[in-house]
Amino acid sequence: MKTNDVIFQTVAKVVFFMIIFFAVHLFFAGHYYPGGGFVGGLLTSGALVLLLLAFDMKTVQRGFPVDFKWLIGIGLLFSIGTAAGSLLFNVPFFTHAYNYFQLPLFGKTSLHTAMLFDLGVYLVVIGVTMTIIQTIGESE
């Protein structure tokens, strides 16, 4: 079955970037405004799913030559690593730390270890969603 979906594909290309940027925004905004790693990750995978629907598995694979199973592992490593990292500073497992820094361009910014943990969540969520969808989509 060959369908002509030029409009869908063209729109998807543009919308994809909008969604991704929004997702990244959500991820970074997390600590102060609605958002966070979980939603950010889901939205990112949503964008990828949109591309999958508009094009096909192979095209998306070519655009993003990422093995999403690896993302799961990397994400878990980030999350557990952040949690375990506190042990190195002789504080209980999973103690977060934060401080405020004066950064160029951003001005006064808070840097937070929770961000690293959230990055792990973000990656795991993308990895998990995409692994499941790809596997089911690929199977005969």
Give the C-alpha separation, 61 to 68, whole Å.
10
54 near other proteins (CB under 8 A): no
Identify the DSSP state of 66: -
Q: Does 51 bind other proteins (CB under 8 A)?
A: no
CA distances for 135 relative to 3, 64, 66, 130, angstroms: 23, 16, 14, 8
Binders of other proteins in range 57-116 (CB under 8 A): 69, 72-73, 75-76, 79-80, 83, 94, 96, 98, 110, 112, 114
39 binds other proteins (CB under 8 A): yes
**Amino acid residing at 94:** F
- H-run or E-run covering 90: none
Q: Confirm if 54 and 3 have CB atoms less than 8 A apart.
A: no
Q: Which residues bind other proteins (CB under 8 A)?
A: 26, 29-39, 42-43, 45-46, 49, 52-53, 69, 72-73, 75-76, 79-80, 83, 94, 96, 98, 110, 112, 114, 117-118, 120-121, 124-125, 127-129, 131-133, 135-137, 139
